[in-house]
Every structure is written in C-alpha cells, then in structure tokens.
Structure 1
Amino acid sequence: MDELTLPALAGLLPALAPSCGPVRLVAVDGHAGSGKTTLAARLAAALDGAPVVHTDDLATHEQPFGWTRRLSGQVLDPLRAGRAARHEVYDWTAHAFRGEREIPAAPVVLLEGVGAGRAELRPLLALVLWLEVGPATARERGLRRDGPLLAPFWTGWSRAEDAHFAADPTRPFADLLVRQTDDADGYRAAAAPGGRAARALPAAGDHRE
C-alpha cells in the first residue's frame, strides 16, 4: 500500500467494517506531545465533524491510564448498542469531574489519547493509528507548549507513560504509522509492519496520491 494523504485516509475510514456496534472506532495513539489531538481534529473535520473522544477527559491525576472501565461503561457500551453516549469530563485544574460530553453513534468515532490503542480495546477498534514522533521530541514539544510551570507534571506523566507502554505497547500493533510532513496535507500514513491495513483498507489503491 502506498502512503496515504490525510484526505485519502479520512475517505477510507467510513469504508471500514463496523467494530463497536454500528460504529467504526478508530484509535489515534502516540506519545504525549506528538500531535494526536491535532491529527484527530483534522480527521474529524475531513469527516464532516466526526465525534472525537479524548482520553484526557476520562483520565485523572491519580489514574492517568486507569480510564478503561470509565470509557467502556460511559462510551463504548452505549455505542455498541447503537445509542449516543454521554461521558464525564475531568477538569485538570479543579482535580474533579465537571460537566459531560455527548458522543453520537456516528459512522466513525475517533478515540484520541496516549494508550488509545491499548490491548484491552483492540477488539473494538476498526483501525489503530500511531503518530511516528519519538518520545524525546514529543516531550520537548509538550514542554514548549505547556510552559515551565507544568514541567513537574510532565516529569511524573513521562514516568507513567513509559511504564504504560512498557507493559502495553501500541506501536507494534498499529495498523498505520502516521508521520507529519511539511506539505499542505501535513500528514502521510503508511501500513505498519504486521498491521491489518492490507485487509482493513482493501480499497487503498483507489486513494493513492
């Protein structure tokens, strides 16, 4: 499979087989600071406003990676039943859940965040995207974005992230590896070694650019 531009990738997602009830649940994973939120937003826009679930809305200071049960109960179970989901949103400043967000059972729903492609969720994922940005580069970007006041938080987060990926890595199980480019599209996606892209994206040849 040739590399896909972002518009071509977005065009292929609705053709995937449903994976979570009627929904095609697509994970956007990578290191913190790698640009997952931006990629998910770009894909959502290209899909005419596809819903995006941010794992940061379900994580907490005490459990940065302990959000699977919350995601399953509040989001995945309703989507599997073909119903709109409604999940709590964590306020990282107030250290508490405040407010809710509704996620319709749309044809494509994007799940964005560190660990979105974890093993426990893969049976419900139509596709796993991994952003090809190394941890050091990603953390440098994150620190530059968040400023020096959050440096202690990043230190603790980095340790938790390293421990998570050591125990439950996503990249070896990704279907597509996505790299950032300097052109107008901003991204290119290529099949990952051993990934499902060859069979999950049977029409890839029709979307090459």
Structure 2
Amino acid sequence: MHSLTRPLPFPELARRLRALPPSVGPVRLVAVDGHAGSGKSTFAGRLAEALDGAPVLHLDDIATHEELFDWTGRLREQVLAPFERGEPAAYRPYDWRARRFGPPRELPPAEVVLIEGVGAGRRAVRPYLARLLWMEMEPEAAWSRGRARDGEEQRTFWDGWVAAELRHFAQDPSKPYADLVVRQTPVGYEVLDGRSAGTAE
C-alpha cells in the first residue's frame, strides 16, 4: 500500500481495510500499536468512525496491574476464539481504579474490528490480523504525553510502565512487522507503507 495523501483520507483507508480478506472468522482484525501516549486511542476512534462505527477493543480493558502484558490467553479465550466461530466475543473490562474486572461487554464479529494498545501487534496476535498499524512517535515524546494526560497521581504507575514496555518491545517487537506506519502531522495524519517507512526487517 502506497503512502496516502496528507491529511489522511480516513474514508479511503477504511475502504482499503474493508477490501481485505477476513483474518479471524468473518472479521478483519486491524491492530493499532505503538508506544504508550502515541495517540493510538484517538486514531483508532477516528478510523472506527470512518468504518461506520466499527467496534474497538482497548487492550487496557483486558490488561491488569499485575498483567500489563500477560493478557494473551485472555484475549484468545474471550475474543479470538469466539470470532473464529463467527460468534460475538464477551470480555470483562478491567477497572483500573477498583482493581477488578467488571461485567461482561459484548464485541460483535463485525466486518472490521479494531484492537488498539501497546502490544496489539505482538507475536501471538499477528496471525489473526488483517493489518498491523504502528503509531510512529519517539518513545520519550509519547511517554511524556501520556504522563501529562494521566497526571501526578499516576506517576508511580508510569515509572513501572515504562520499564515494562521497554522489556516487552525488546522481547516481542511490533514495529518491524507493521504493514502501515501512521505519523501525526500538523494537519492530521499520514500513512506510509511499513516497508518504505523502514520498519520491515
């Protein structure tokens, strides 16, 4: 896929994603990965709108304080396995303040489903993906934005998070396998082919 025009034409990207073959059951699962604070949630929300309200799974909902990255089994059991059967998924979002899982939330096996969060393009998930998008931002800049967003009360959490994220990407990088690289610009976004952007090995 060649670089799209600037600012990013979300409808064109949505059209291209819909044209892909299903990757897990009837679903085209599209991951948006990148460093914490790089703008994944905002971008995924804009893309979901262009996809006529496509469902979005936020990985913050299946991670926990004790399992920042050890959520692969939960994702497989609660989301991927039902999608493989063409059934709705049902996961229990984690409440980061109460430190417990909440009531089940349904995720329909829509034409396109977005999954966003740090590690969305990890090794165990990539076989189920139709496309992997990487939000391009220097980690220190992304973490700075994230810290500013979350405030002083989350400072201790962020100190632990940065170390955990560094370990995760050192062991299981996503960026080298990205199909598309997304960069924020003063007027929106640009999307580049992962290989031409230098992410492919």
Correspondent of 2:95 among 91, 95, 99: 91
Aligned to 1:58: 62
| Cα offset, 1:76, TM superposition | 0.6
Correspondent of 2:77 among 73, 76, 80: 73
Aligned to 1:34: 38
* Structure 2 counterpart SS, 1:161: helix
Aligned to 1:177: 181
* Structure 1 counterpart SS, 2:92: strand
Aligned to 2:140: 136
Correspondent of 2:195 among 193, 196, 208: 193
* Structure 1 counterpart SS, 2:78: helix
| Cα offset, 1:140, TM superposition | 0.5
1:116 aligns with 2:116: no
- Long gaps (5+) in structure 2: none
Q: What is the percent sequence identity of the aligned residues? A: 56
RMSD of aligned C-alpha atoms? Answer: 1.2
**Aligned structure 1 segments of 4 or more residues deviating by more than 3 angstroms:** none
| Cα offset, 1:100, TM superposition | 2.0
Aligned to 2:156: 152
- Long gaps (5+) in structure 1: 196-209
State the one-letter code of the partner of 1:70.
R
* Structure 1 counterpart SS, 2:66: coil
The total of aligned residue pairs comes to: 193
| TM-score where L is the length of structure 1 | 0.90
* Structure 1 counterpart SS, 2:170: helix
Aligned to 1:168: 172
Distance 1:144 1:152 in 2: 13
| TM-score where L is the length of structure 2 | 0.93
